[in-house]
Amino acid sequence: MTKIIRTSISADRVVVALSGGQPVITVHKGFRTLKKYILRDFKKVSTVSEETYRHGGKAAAGAVVGGLLTGGVGLIAGAAIGGRRRKEGMYTIHLTDGNHVTVETTDKKLIAKLRPLALLGS
């Protein structure tokens, strides 16, 4: 899931997603696409925060199911599988036209593209 936290772009909707394996910012007004910002339009990417965590509710559910099906060993395995690691990142993308977009995402592929850009200070 990806959501826009803050943006200086005046539009009905701003979407950050991958297109052709690269991050793209799409600006919408009503049903029309007004502008697309592609990688060459990114002036700088900054990391606001990054967090890795385990989803506790799914770990508990996995433990219960595993415990019921196979006993003690299943309890531990179910908790480990159910509570997979999740990564969340928040990045600010500064654009060459002076606008910026702050985005929060759990999309692993988008994080994998934005994180190196932030480390480079693109």
Helix (H, G, I), strand (E, B) or coil at 55: coil
Helix (H, G, I), strand (E, B) or coil at 19: strand
Q: Which of the 8 DSSP states describes residue 58? A: H
Predicted confidence (pLDDT) at residue 102 exceeds the cutoff of 90: yes
Please state the rounded mean pLDDT for residues 16-28. Answer: 96
User: What is the pTM for the complete model shown?
Assistant: 0.72
Q: What is the pLDDT of residue 87?
A: 77
**Tens of pLDDT along 43-76?**
999 999 887 655 555 555 555 555 555 655 554 5
Domains of the chain (ranges plus CATH)? 2-51+85-120 (2.30.29)
Please state the rounded mean pLDDT for residues 24-53. Answer: 92
Nearest to 117 by CA among 48, 16, 46: 46
Residue 114 pLDDT class (50, 70, 90 cuts): very high
83 φ, ψ (degrees, to nearest 5): -100, 50
